[in-house]
Amino acid sequence: MNKRIEDAFNEQINEELFSSYVYLAMAAHFEGQNLEGFTNWMKLQAQEELAHAMRLFDHVNRRGGRVVLGAIAAPPAEFGTPLEVFEQALAHEEHITGCIHKLYGIAVEEADYPAQIELQWFIDEQVEEEENTGRVVDLLKLAGDNKSTLFMLDRELAQRTPEEDGE
Ligand SMILES: [Fe+2]
Ligand SMILES: [Fe+2]
């Protein structure tokens, strides 16, 4: 892989690790409020992001590139209501989708076909990420200030399990 692709992949590894950090911070926020389902959802999300970083890490190594890890920025420490947290999560996923699309554009410009194939998985994954996060945002909007609906939603999110393929 050429240097430009290598640098761009390394940047994306950092974005995915930062994503993991953001979701871990959100998990800590929910855990502090004893919202176990929301905590579970965020912890699994943090694990998924780590798996995304590892997927890119492996791709760089398999292609003879060199992984260079940079500093991971600190995530926010303070969060608002569950709706606000999930709106932030959705905005974050939209940002990541933009990063992946930009990265794919670079792979096209550089005619790096293996990178394009690898990134197609991420393009698809981002559709799923936005769909899943957006669904929780919609449910939280429906719940509004209704505490019992919020409680039921927390119970539902407690059911989320790690994906089979670890993605
Ligand atoms: Fe990701
Ligand atoms: Fe994500």
Give the pLDDT mean for 107-111: 98
Averaged pLDDT score across all residues of the chain: 95
The 10 Å Cβ neighbour count of residue 12 is 22
Asked if residue 103 lies in contact with residue 53, where contact means CB atoms within 8 angstroms, the answer is no
pTM of the model: 0.94
Separation of CA 101 and ligand 2 centre (Å): 14
Separation of CA 19 and ligand 2 centre (Å): 7
Q: What is the structure's pLDDT at 163?
A: 78
Confidence of residue 164 (pLDDT cuts 50, 70, 90): low
| Residue count of the chain | 167
Separation of CA 46 and ligand 2 centre (Å): 8
pLDDT digits (tens, 9 = 90+) for 21-50: 999 999 999 999 999 999 999 999 999 999
Backbone angles phi, psi at 164, to 5 degrees: -50, -45
Asked if residue 167 lies in contact with residue 118, where contact means CB atoms within 8 angstroms, the answer is no
Separation of CA 95 and ligand 2 centre (Å): 10
Separation of CA 20 and ligand 2 centre (Å): 8
Confidence of residue 165 (pLDDT cuts 50, 70, 90): low
Separation of CA 86 and ligand 2 centre (Å): 12
> How far is CA 151 from each of CA 26, 45, 86, 92, 132, rounded to the nearest angstrom?
18, 20, 16, 25, 19
Largest distance between two CA atoms of the chain: 55
Please say if the pLDDT value at position 166 is more than 50: no
First to last CA, the chain: 24
- Give the number of the ligand closest to the Cα of residue 14: 1
**Quick one: DSSP state of residue 72?**
P
Please say if the pLDDT value at position 81 is more than 80: yes
